[in-house]
Amino acid sequence: MNLDCNTSNGRRFIAYQHECLSIFCKRKKVSCITTNDTFCADIDAIFYRDSVLAVGECKTRQMTLSQLKRFGSYLVSYSKIEKLIAISKSLQCYGLLIVYLIPDTKIVWCKVCDKQGNLLVDINRQTTSTQATCNGGTAIRDNAYIPFDAMLLI
């Protein structure tokens, strides 16, 4: 099975993901280990100092900060949120969503859930038609809309 992350365009987005995680870790004074980026992992990174602090889902988008603000929310598949919550709960750490905005080289992020897996943001869950992957296509699925005002800028 040829996954989108293993296409040339997918690898380009993965490179931005690694850049994003590096910047995030420097700014937050944490370290991280990433999951294997050639397979479909449930999360992208584990953040730690002396122990595990958080797990994260890292997204990269060909979108500016002003475009994201105009949308008023960030869309991510709801299954990603469910996986983030489950892993956060099992490791007793925060669940983070981190988004790299490629044109601006800016990062927005939020704590999605606490160490018990309780949501910390008001997510609007809807079934919608969206772009399937960085390589295009359309998918109809449950999506989570994270309010922009719940996100922090790095």
Task: Strand 106-113: give its sheet, edge to edge.
Answer: 31-34, 45-48, 52-61, 94-101, 106-113, 152-153
Task: Strand 124-133: give its sheet, edge to edge.
Answer: 73-77, 136-147, 124-133
Find the CATH number of the domain harbouring 79: 3.40.1350.10
Between residues 134 and 123, which one has the greater pLDDT?
123
Average pLDDT for 99-117: 97
* pLDDT score for 132: 59
Query: 105: which strand partners?
Result: none
Between residues 139 and 112, which one has the greater pLDDT?
112
Tell me how far apart the alpha carbons of residues 148 and 146 are, in angstroms, rounded to a whole number.
6
* pLDDT score for 81: 97
Average pLDDT for 53-79: 96
pLDDT in tens, 7-58: 888 888 899 999 999 999 999 999 999 999 888 899 999 999 999 999 999 9
Sole residue written with tokens 């990603």: 80
Tell me how far apart the alpha carbons of residues 99 and 106 are, in angstroms, rounded to a whole number.
8
Q: Which amino acid is at 66?
A: S
Average pLDDT for 134-154: 89
User: 107: closest CA among 35, 21, 5, 41?
Assistant: 21
* Number of domains within the chain: 1
Which three-class secondary structure state does DSSP give residue 65? Answer: helix
Sole residue written with tokens 């479909």: 40
* pLDDT score for 37: 87
Tell me how far apart the alpha carbons of residues 3 and 47 are, in angstroms, rounded to a whole number.
25
In this prediction, residue 5 has a pLDDT band, given cuts at 50, 70 and 90, of: confident
Q: By percentage, how much of the chain surpasses pLDDT 70?
A: 95
Domain that holds residue 127: 4-153
